[in-house]
Each structure stands twice: as C-alpha cells, then as structure tokens.
Structure 1
Amino acid sequence: MTSITRNLPWFIRDLGISIVGKECYTSLIENLDISDVKCIKYSISKGLGIGIVLGGSIVKVPQLLLIVRGRSARGLSLPAYILETLSYAITLLYAYRNEFPFSTYGENLFLTLQNVIITILIILYSPSKSPSQQTQSKTTTLTLTSLLLLTSLLTCSLLPLPLLALLQLTTLPLSLSSKLPQITQNHRAQSTGQLSAFAVVAQILGCAARLFTTATEVGDSVVAAGFVLALVLNVVLGVQLWMYWGNDEVKVEEEGEKKIKARASPAPVSNSTATSVPAYKPEPAGQRAGSPRPASPSLGGRKWARKVD
C-alpha cells in the first residue's frame, strides 16, 4: 500500500504538503503511520479550518436572502450587527498581523463583508413614520455607520502590534454587546423575526470547531476566550430559535394590543342586573277620574288605581 501512496501524482503531493506540511504528509500519507497522534490532530484541525473558511463564505447568505425576499429586516438588531462586524474585523486584522495560518481565521474576512451588507440592508429596510423622515434618517444612519466601520478598520490596520493585541481583548465585550441586543429583542418580542436559523446553527458549530483549531495550531488564549464567549451567546440564540419557533412578531404585538384594549374597555351591562322602568301611558279619554283601570296582562292580572285629589 505504501508503494502507491509514495508514488502519488505531483499535484496531489504538493497539495497535501501545502495543507498539513511535509512532515505530517510523509508520516500519514506516504508511511501510513496512524499512530502519529500529533499529525492526526494537526490534520483534523487543518481540515476543520478549511471547512470553516468555506462555510464562512456562505453562512450569512441565507440571512441576506431572507431580508431581500421579505423586503424587511424585522427582528434584526442594527447595533448588534455593527458591533459584531467590528469584532470580526479586529480579529481578522489581529490574526493577519500575527501571521496566523489563513485556515485559522479566514472566515472572518467573509463574515465581515457579509455583515457589512446585512447592516446596510437593515438600515434600508428599517420602517419610518413619514417618507421624508424615512429618507433623511436612513441616509444619516448609513453614512454614520459607514464612517464608523471605515475609521475602525483603518485605525486597527495602523496600530502597532502590542496595541492591536490589547484591542483584541476588546472583542470579548464587543461579542457580548453584539449578541445582547439581539437576545433582548427576541425575548421582548417573543419572536426571532427574520433571524436565520441556518446562520445561528452554523455559527454554533463554527465556534466549537474554532476552539479545537485555535488550541491545536495557534494556542492564543485571547482568541480562544473570544470563541468561548461567542459559542455561549450563539447557543442562547439557538435556544431562543427553538423556543419561539413559529411565533410571528406581528401576531404577538396584535395579541398584546387586543389584551390592552380589552382591559381598557368598560364591562358590558348584564340584562339580569338591569332594572326596567315601566313607561308611562296616558289614560284613555273616555275613562273617568277615579275609576279603576283595566288589568294589564303584563302585570299578572293586578289592578292598579289612581287616586286624584
């Protein structure tokens, strides 16, 4: 068997060496040494890393399609996506400046780009009271958001490496702040709106795999802590998706308004408690004063007399 693996075509050999390195390629592929635990772990990490990078290039596409098809960003938090984009961008620049393998951080490039597009769509599809306010508000928000993102990226790319390492620490509170608005909004509305279940599940699996690849190839505790926090928060979003599955935010709001109106409206008067006042009927012209009136059938045959002074 080793005679075959040692004589594979050059392009397969070069591809294998570029992925796992010459040492592990020789041990696992050419010599078929399955007892080399170190190279096995490294190869699994590389495979997971490449899969995460490829998955990261499309993980937000379902979310984009949901917004565009529905022409609505209902249920999506704008502050959450702005903070999440900053966190992805900082991690991307930190890993690039430290010359980490691209397979350990490459998905951050695609996630940053996709998040920028989603942020723009949230602004464009946000509801406003009047057309004039709508155009002005959206233009202002879009301009400020673009300036914020561009300024942050330029600042991070020009910072010295020690300061960039300190900035990487800020991705922990950024990750927390980016998920809390979305989690709070879901809880308040009892619905996840246009939030994509595929994107949330993919992020949960990606964070779990990233913990393994970071520990195997990088060993950076700051980066690993960021993935731990992101995993916990994504799991919370996943639980909310399960709890509120099928709930429509619009229906929840309408039911709430109906309950408020029902409490505010007065209770209807029951027929059993209402007292009826008999209507006054004038006496017939031919009837003499003081003479008894004929019995009324509605009063059970009782005779009523009117005394006139």
Structure 2
Amino acid sequence: MISINLARGVPVCLPVHPIPEKPDLRGDSRRLLNYRVARRRKNEAAAGGAHRPGCAALKLPQISAVLAARSARGLSLPSLLLELAGFLVFLRYQCYYGYPLLTYLEYPILIAQDVILLLCIFHFNGNVKQATPYIAVLVSSWFVLALQKWIIDLAMNLCTFISAASKFAQLQCLWKTRDSGTVSALTWSLSSYTCATRIITTLMTTNDFTILTRFVIMLALNIWVTVTVLRYRKTAIKAE
C-alpha cells in the first residue's frame, strides 16, 4: 500500500498491483511443457483465423464463373488434377505426423471445392463420367500414402514440385490461348492471400522448413498466375 497526501492533508491509501512477469519454469519441466503448449495453441488460434475465411471461399468465384458462363474455357484440366494431388499429399502428410488441426483445417474444404470444379469441367466438356477414374485414383492414393513412412516423406518432398507444376500448367494454357476465358482472377488472388497467411501460421506453429518453402514458392507462382490472368483479360477487352 502507498499513502499519498492530498492538498487537504488527508492521506489516501492506494493498492499496489505487482507487474506480471513471465513465469520462471526452468525448474519444472511439466509446467514448462504446459506453458509452451498453451502459448502455441494461442498462436495457432490467432494465426488461423486470418486465412480460414479466404480458404473456405477460395474456389467459389471460379465455380461461379464456370457455371455462369456454362463453359470451362481457359481452365487447364492438368493444372486442376495436379493441384488436387498436391492438396491430397499435403493433407495426408499433416494427418500422418499428427500436426495441429488448425494447420490443415481448410484442406478438406479446398479438396471438396476442387472436386466440384473438376465435375463442372467434365460436365461442360460433355461427359461427367470421365471424372470417375481420376476421383478413384485420388481416393486410393489417400490410403497408399500412409502405408510406409518413406512413401509419405517422398510424396511430401515431391509435393512442392507437383503444386508448382499445376501453376505452370495453368500458365502454359494461358500463354497458348492468350485468353483468360472463365479463369477467375479473384480465386488466384485469394490463393496468394492464403499462402501469405500460411507462411505466418507455419512460422508461429510448426516452423517446418519443408512446408514453409512450399508456401513461399506457391505464393510467388499464384501471384504470377493472377497477373497473367489480368493481363490477358485486358487484352481481350481491348480486342472487343
């Protein structure tokens, strides 16, 4: 308690609250572990909320554009299939090693949206049944990847190349046709945003170098595709 003499000479006692400090847990390994786990979960919750809304709606602009135009013009089927494979491998890797749920919560949503987009492409190309073999391979791959540790590790090492190949496939399609068609610039912009937030999330949680490298590369390629889509869209507008 501290006594303060006011102008009339009446002492007033004010309580003194100690300044909270970081607990010294060096002598208690269990308390130290609990403290680190609690801090890690707090970081996960703070970082995870930034990208999850964007991921939940990532492919919706693209699906909406395809349905509105009733055409998949400009979209690359190999790009979509490679992207699906990359998402599947990444999700299986995180589940296999028991990573926190918040680090991969959006991937089942992304996979579901890609499957819907795949069905739309085959539908507007004339035959939805052609999608069945591709979906069967993806489902069986989920179980094959977890058979041996070296399989999932090898797949994860190749995951970055698979995802990068999907971006280059879309870029190649745009370069060849010089027309962005129904390709959604908003979807690719959201992809860039989610990659950027994923870099922050990874740094705050697992700090996995392999995953971090993947997101940095994906961010650069997503920005490249977005710029290319906007470029050819402006070219098409001028031509009209």
TM-score, length-scaled by structure 1: 0.61
Structure 2 partner of 1:121:
120
Tell me which residue corresponds to 2:81.
82
Amino acid at match of 2:147: L
State the Cα deviation string for residues 116-151 of structure 1 (Å, max 9, x = none): 11111111112xxxxxxx55xx53x32222222222
- Note the C-alpha offset of 1:178: 0.8
| Match among 135, 146, 149 for residue 146 of structure 1 | 135
- Name which of 164, 181, 203 aligns with 2:169: 181
* 1:268 aligned partner: none
Taking a change above 3 Å as real, the CA distance of residues 70 and 85 of structure 1, as seen in their structure-2 partners, is same
Structure 2 unaligned regions, length at least 5: 1-16, 18-32
| 1:200–1:238 Cα contact (<8 Å) kept | yes
Deviation of residue 22 (structure 1)? Answer: 7.7
Helix, strand or coil: the match of 2:182? coil
* Contact 1:200/1:237 (8 A) holds in 2: yes
Aligned residue pairs total 209
Runs of at least 5 residues in structure 1 that lack an aligned partner in the other structure: 4-20, 27-38, 127-133, 256-309
| C-alpha separation in 1, matches of 2:34 and 2:143 | 37
Q: Which runs of 4+ in 1 moved over 4 A?
A: 21-26, 41-45
Quick one: which of 202, 213, 217 aligns to 1:214?
Answer: 202
Give, in whole Å, the separation in 1 of the partners of 2:118 and 2:142: 16
TM superposition shift of 1:53: 2.6
> Which amino acid in 1 is paired with 2:107?
N
1:71 and 1:121 map into 2 onto residues whose CA distance is 9
SS in 2 for 1:59: coil
Question: What is the alpha-carbon distance in structure 2 between the residues aligned to residue 59 and residue 242 of structure 1?
Answer: 18
RMSD: 2.7
Rg (Cα) greater in structure: 1
Residues 97-116 of structure 1 aligned to structure 2 (within 5 Å): 97-116=96-115
With CA pairs under 8 Å and 6+ residues apart, which has the higher RCO, 1 or 2? 2
Give me the identity figure in percent.
26
Q: Aligned AA for 1:214?
A: T
- Structure 1 residue 163: Cα displacement: 2.6
Which stretch shows the higher mean deviation, 87-96 or 147-156? Answer: 147-156
The question of 1:243 aligning with 2:235 is answered no
Q: Is the 8 A contact 2:76 2:173 kept in 1?
A: yes
